[in-house]
Structure formats: structure tokens, C-alpha cells
Structure 1
Amino acid sequence: MALLVHILACAFGLGSWVAVNGLWVELPLIVNTLPEGWDLPSYLTVIIQLANLGPLLVTLMHKLCPGRLKERVVIYFILSIGVIACILLAFFWDKTTIVAGAPHSTAFFIITFFLSLVDCTSSVTFLPFMMQLPAKYITTLFIGEGLSGFIPGVVALTQGVGIAKCVNSSQSTGNQTWTIHTEYLPPNFSPRVFFFFLSAMMCISLAAFIALNRLPRTYELSAENLIPETVASVSSGLDNPGLEKDTEDVKGQGEGKTQSTPLLASHRHSVYQLTFIYVLVLWINAATNGLLPSVQTFSCMPYGNLAYHLSAALSSVANPLACTVAMFLQNRSLVFLGVLTMLGTGFGSYNMAMAALSPCPLFQGSVLGETIIVLSWLFFTGTLTYVKVMVGVILRDRSHNALVWCGAAAQIGSLVGSITMFPLVNVYQLFKPGDLCNTKCP
């Protein structure tokens, strides 16, 4: 039964970010088709963050009407929307309309908003729902969340998206001159098939959630496994860390008696430690969901489509790998997590610097340059994902509200990161695209 719950929790986690992750790994193909081109990632980051309307409403409901909002109902609703939106994306992803005299991917943007609404809202509903299960299943959920990027990445590799070659072409203007242009090879299967695959993964997540709700209440979903609410909210815990209760009565199932469930002393943190934890959440999500994704094309494409493809796909591998490591090698030391965050930030800084140097980054045209940029994206994702998982485990052991506010902080960080990058990419155009075959660098 424990193995079954692990499988269901992992499958449930697939629906958390599978749609948005699927869009990112498909970008090497999409950017060459849709009119926005290389600027498309920055549009996506802003659209994804506009979908924070969902988690904002959920968080406000928890704050203003505590206990009235049922995560179960919200999850049913958003997963159903996710299935429908993925199916619509398969049919309308390449449809364009004229806006302000220029073609834009209106249908793609609207459907992406609803997919993002699903994924963003999962940040403040999936984790609180998992409070009904023992802590060991939290890490399994994070593994499923990581697989929501890894599996689409593997499928995209099979698809062969965005693979290009340089082809000689001639033009006759008196004397014959030779020019080189980029020619993109057709994928092994169309984006429509890929988006139908995303629909299937959303269906699997929905089915796993239904199964989790139908597990015998006497096994893992019994009231005895719930972590008691020791504080009314995270903010009250921050203001009065010394007022946390050491014990709280929880009703036993089928009995009128109450039992005392002590909080472990190791789960207490000072106001400064809690502040540090939530700052980590804000920064990590700002970097991984807003700042760096907006410029991934600029940091990788100058090294070639293969480097871009591998960085997108292998970064998705780093996510579940980091979650698996966190399952067996847990380190809750805030000092260690801080150092690991600085290391991940260093890799992210290199990626940002290469994007700023586009179209002529360091070691362009060499195997060394391609290897470094792919590994930098890999370690950037892996290190910060490990910190993200461990922070989730720490806050899970604190209270239900701590996880709700963790999800809210994650979305705020993502929003700030994307809003910061959008004008830099699209208005001030600080990042310059380059032609794979015609860019001349010193």
C-alpha cells in the first residue's frame, strides 16, 4: 500500500507544472514558427506570472476565510481545466491574429494563460493537500513535479525539435555570390502530437488525484496523520515565534477522545530563520521561473540549436534528480542551504552573462563553450531545486499555513523575476539575437 501511495503521489505531482514545462522544452521548435521569435520566452514568463491570480485568490481565501476553502475541490477544477486547455492547444497553437498592425500568437497566449493558471494554482493547493499524508510523500510529490519537466524533455528529444543545419544558397547578380542560410529540419512528429501527449499526462495526474482521495481513510489519510495547526498563520508565527504551542489536541477517528501530538523541537525556528527561509523561496523562484528562463534562448542559441535543446531537456533531468537526492540525502542546515543557493546563483549568473554577450558569448563555436553552457544550466537547476525541496520539507513539518505561504512566496518571486526581465528583453532590447549561420564574431 505504501508503494501504491508513492506511485499515486508521484503521478499526482506530474500535473503541477507539466503544461508549462512542456511549452519550454518545445520552444526550440515553436520560436521558429510563431511571429514573436526569440522574444517568445519573455512573453511566456509574463503570461505565466499573470496567472498568479489563481494562487492569490486561494491565499486570500485561506487568510480571510480560514478552513472554508477545500483544496480538493480546487484541485479537481484546475486539473480539469488543464486537460481541456492542452487539447485546445493542440489545435490552435499556431493560429495568429493581427494586433496593432502585426501578427501575434493570440490563441497560443490565451491558452497558455489558462495552463499557467492551473500550474501556478497548484503551488498553493498540491502541497497543502499533501499535508494529509506523512512527510515522506512530500518528497515523492516533488519527484513527480520534477518528472513533469523531465518526461516532456525526453519526448522533445525524441521529437528532434529545432535541429538546424547551415545550407549554401546562390544568388546571381552579375557575378555569382554564395550565401549561407539556416534550414531547420522537420521534427519526427508535429507539435500537435506533443500537445496531445501533454493532455495525456494531465489526465494521469487527475486520475492519480482521484485515486488518492479514494484510498481507505483508515490507512494514510486518517486524521491522526495530520500535522496540527500550531499557529493561525505564518505571519503570526513570524511575529511571535515564542507563542507556538508545544502540543495540540487532535481528534481520533471514530473516537470522542483526544490525543496530544507534540511538535518536535527541531521544527521550531526563530523569526530570523523563518525570514531567511522565505527569502530563499522568493529568490530561488525569481531566478528559476522568471529571470533566467526569459533569456535562455539568448544564452544558448548562439552555441547552436543542439546546445539550446540539450540545456532545455537536461535541465529538466536535473529537477527530478535533485528531488531524488533530497529523498535520501536530506540536509536541513540553513547554512548549507544558503551556500548551495549561492552556488546555484553563480551558475545562473554565468548563464545571464552569456545571454548579455549574445550573439558572441565566450567560447562560441567550440565544443568547450557548448559543454559549459549546458552544464551551467544543468547545475543551476539542480542545486536550486534541491534547496527548494528541502525548504518545502522544513515548512511541511511546521504547519499547513506555512506551506500555503511557501507557495505564495514562490509565486511572488516568480512574478517579480518575470516583470523585471520583460522590459529588458522586449522594450530596451538589451539582449541581441544572432543568426546561427551568418553571425560573425571576433
Structure 2
Amino acid sequence: MSFCLFLEKHTSNMSLLTHVLACLFGMGSWVSINGLWVELPLIVPQIPEGWYLPSYLSIIIQMANVGPLFVTLMHRFRPGALNETAVIYVIICLGTVATFLLGFFWKETVVVAGAPHSVALLVLTFFLATVDCTSSVTFLPFTMRLKPQYLTTYYIGEGVSGLLPALVALVQGVGVVHCINSTQSSNHTLNTSSSALTFDLQAQYQPANFSAEVFFFFLTAMMLVCLAAFLLLNYHPSVAREPPSGRYTNGVKEKSHKNRKWAEQKPMMDPYKAANPRPRSSFGAGTYSWMQVVYIFVILAWVNALTNVVLPSVQSYSCMPYGNNAYHLSATMAAVSNPLACFIAMFLPIRSLLLMGALTVMGSGIGAYIMAMAVLSPCPLLVNETSGGVIIVLAWILFVLSLSYVKVMIGVILRDEGHSALVWCGAVVQLGSLVGAATMFPVVSVYSYFSSGDPCNTKCP
């Protein structure tokens, strides 16, 4: 009964329609690139790049940061010159068209320098990456036009952008491996025809339940849903928006400062704090000192580097030694943990900088364990024990859960600081991801520091 009263208290004056639309809008932020990643086991065997494709994708995604860089510089040096709503329409439409074209041309090759290459796949991936990277500095600031409580709903949608493709790929049967017996003949003498038979296990990927083309058309439908949600957020009369005094036009706040939400909410969070405190810095509303602002952005960059690039790049190395089921379960449950953390933050929007640091340390410690297991692959700790698989799955769940909550905490804090703070939030997210990619790419792809082993034949003591 008490939970029902708690839920009713926190959902009062909230529009269910706005929650749904904010979630669907956030879902379109990274659904295309996330979908491409989970489809790799089905794509790789049919293209000339093979398993070098993930390396190419990492480079392409970082090159696509030219989009958020342009938007951030425009907000900094030409505030108001960039029509934020028009930019969002353009990138959603571009992402929809690029995803649709992938369904037709992802297998097409062109001879470049005497060798076939998947030029269409790589070019279309660049457009998708530009769309998704640019969404970090456009989608999030757009939520300033909605009431504060819908920011966490947007983050839930952003989490669903990774969860939904993973679930569809799971139904599709992507990456399911079966070990089959294979017989090989080996000669023991040079002058006789005597030979011995050796028995070995061979990993064989099972055919998918439906094709990659169908999967890409599904992603196209998701982008169309995102476009429809954005249209309704702009024009539907029932959408719960900020009052006119809190509205932004092309990223610039209107002159009126009456009824500022942050000034009303701060006493609710801290009843001993003055309603109109003296600004402590020129950043945003001046709520935080410059040292605290730097602290928040350093944590934001660190958390996004870990969750977006560093740990996902070694997920297969950390999980596959424990079996194919452990790998798929960890990937799926980690994808579930992201929106779950956002859902928790909807009812517990804590702004404590101390808690933020504690959760970051905890999540980083769990990430260090995951990284250690990846380094020890193909023979990590407890590799032959059921408990080893259970621990690695729980580690991935807690890692994503804790650091996803930190990201939402920072989003809530910066939302109170204004539109410009959210633009910088998106820019720092991409910067953290860029640094993570620059660190992990040479380690994983160039120097091949990690070893995955054979899922069917690796023997560990």
C-alpha cells in the first residue's frame, strides 16, 4: 500500500503520453549503431572484411564525432544560430534512410586497390554513427522543453535503444554456437600409409531464424517510431511541456526568469538550503563551484568511456570462456540493467556528489574485475566452475546498473543548470567515448593483446 502511495505521489501531474513519447524519442538515439553491433556475428561471415569489421566500425564511429563537435562549437560561438529542432529532424530522417538502405546494400562490395571491400556498408555506417553521435548534443538538450521529470524517461528510452536490438537478435538466434565432432587424419610415418584418426570439436554457428535484411528493416521501423514521437512531442496538445518561462528557442532561453524550476526544486531536495543561493560560479545556474563542475564532468567522461567503449570491447573475452550461455546472458542482462537504472532514478533522483563518487568507484572496481577476466582469457578464474559464470554475469549487471545510475544523476544535475549545460553534457559523453576508443583500439585490434580461445576446444587447468 505504501508503495502505491509513493508511486502516486511521484507520478502526479505527469502525463503518461509524454512519458511514452519521451521514451520512444530516446530510443532512437543509438538504436541503429547498437543494432549493427549485435548483428555482427551474422554479417561478418558474409563480407570480405571478416572480423576486422569491428575495428573499422570503431574508427568510423569516432570519425563521426565531427557532428557533435560542429553542434557544440555552434552553441558556443553562435548561440541561437542553429535551429535545434530542424537539426533533430534532419538527423532522424538521415538515420532512417541510411538504415533502410543497409537492408539492401550491406553485402554489396566494390573493388578498391585490387581487393573487394564493403564500401556501402562502411559509408552507411558513417552516416548512422554521425546521427547517433550528434543525438548526444541535440536530443538531450531538447528535453529542456519538457518538464524535469521526463528526463529520466528519456534515459530509459536511451537504454532501450540497446536492449531492444539485443532481444530481437536473441530471438533471431545470432551468434548461437554448437560444438560438433570433426574427424581428422594424420600420418605418423613418411614411408607407410598408416594413419591415425583424431577427434576434435569444431565450433559451428547456427543459421539465424530470419535474415539480416529483416533485422535492418526492423531498425528502420524503430527510427520511424522515433520520428513520430518527436513530432508528437512538438505538436501534440496533451504533451506536458515546460511553461513558457522555461522554454528555449533554438537553444537560447527566453528573457523571462519567473518560476524557475530549479529554484523551486532545490528546497525540496535540501530544506536547509536557501531558495535563491548566491551563484558559486558562472556555469549554468551557478549552483556548483568550478571545482565541482570539473568533478562532475570528469566522472561523466570516465563513466561513458567505461560503459560505451572500454568494457564492451572486451565483453566477449571476459564472458566466452565461461560458455556461450554466460556470454549471451551477460549481454542481455547488461542491456536490461541500463533502463532499469533509469527507472530507479525516476523515483530516487538523488543529486549527492558524494554518492555519485561512491557509485563510480564501485562500478569501476567491478569493471576492473571484468577487465582482469578478459586479460586472463581464455583461462580466467573459476573457468571450469559454474560459480565463475554466475559471478561474471552478476559483475556485468552491477557494473552497468551502478554506472548507468551515475549517468542519470549527472543528467538530472545538469538539466537543472540549463540548456547549455546539457549541450556540454552530450559533448563530454562523446569525448569520453572517443578517449576510450583511442585507448582500446590499439590494444584490442592492433596488438591483439586479448585472446578469446576456441569455444569448443580450449583446455584450462
Same fold at TM > 0.5: yes
CA distance in 2, matches of 1:96, 1:416: 31
Distance apart, 1:61 and its partner CA: 0.6
CA distance in 2, matches of 1:425, 1:102: 24
Task: Name the amino acid aligned to 2:144.
Answer: M
Counting only pairs closer than 5 Å after superposition, residues 261-276 of structure 1 correspond to structure 2 as 261=260, 264=263, 268-276=287-295
- Give the conservation status (yes or no) of the 8 Å contact 1:167–1:180: yes
Aligned: 1:400 with 2:413? no
**Which of residues 217, 221, 226 is equivalent to 1:200?**
221
CA distance in 1, matches of 2:65, 2:204: 38
- Give the conservation status (yes or no) of the 8 Å contact 1:11–1:208: yes
Partner of 2:17: 4
Residue deviations 1:120-154, cap 9 Å, x none? 10000011111111101111111111111111122
Q: 1:122 to 1:277 in 2, by over 3 A?
A: same
Aligned: 1:65 with 2:86? no
Gaps of 5+ in 2: 1-13, 187-194, 267-272, 274-284
Aligned: 1:177 with 2:213? no
Residue deviations 1:286-316, cap 9 Å, x none? 1111212222222222223322222222211
Distance apart, 1:184 and its partner CA: 1.3
- Aligned with 1:171: secondary structure? strand
Partner of 2:345: 326
Counting only pairs closer than 5 Å after superposition, residues 37-436 of structure 1 correspond to structure 2 as 39-96=52-109, 104-173=117-186, 174-216=195-237, 220=241, 222-226=243-247, 250-251=255-256, 259=258, 261=260, 264=263, 268-436=287-455
Larger radius of gyration: 2
Distance apart, 1:411 and its partner CA: 0.4
- Give TM-score, length-normalised by structure 1: 0.88
CA distance in 1, matches of 2:184, 2:373: 34
Q: 1:104 to 1:66 in 2, by over 3 A?
A: same
Distance apart, 1:165 and its partner CA: 1.2
Backbone CA RMSD of aligned residues: 2.5
- Aligned with 2:202: secondary structure? strand
CA distance in 2, matches of 1:199, 1:269: 41
Gaps of 5+ in 1: 233-247, 252-257
Residue deviations 1:382-402, cap 9 Å, x none? 111100011000000011100
- Give the conservation status (yes or no) of the 8 Å contact 1:295–1:352: yes
Task: Name the amino acid aligned to 2:344.
Answer: V
Aligned: 1:13 with 2:26? yes
Task: Name the amino acid aligned to 1:209.
Answer: F
- Aligned with 2:422: secondary structure? helix
Residue deviations 1:97-133, cap 9 Å, x none? 5666766544333222211111110000011111111
- Aligned with 2:145: secondary structure? coil
Q: 1:14 to 1:218 in 2, by over 3 A?
A: closer
Q: 1:278 to 1:218 in 2, by over 3 A?
A: closer
- Aligned with 2:451: secondary structure? coil
- Aligned with 2:39: secondary structure? helix
Residue deviations 1:20-67, cap 9 Å, x none? 221233234445555555554443333222111100000011111111
- Give the conservation status (yes or no) of the 8 Å contact 2:68–2:137: yes
Q: Which moved more, 1:206-215 or 1:373-382?
A: 373-382
Partner of 2:281: none
Q: 1:298 to 1:261 in 2, by over 3 A?
A: closer
- Give TM-score, length-normalised by structure 2: 0.84
Task: Name the amino acid aligned to 2:448.
Answer: Q
- Aligned with 2:203: secondary structure? strand
Q: 1:30 to 1:379 in 2, by over 3 A?
A: farther
Residue deviations 1:249-275, cap 9 Å, x none? 844xxxxxx846485266711111111
- Give the conservation status (yes or no) of the 8 Å contact 1:15–1:201: yes
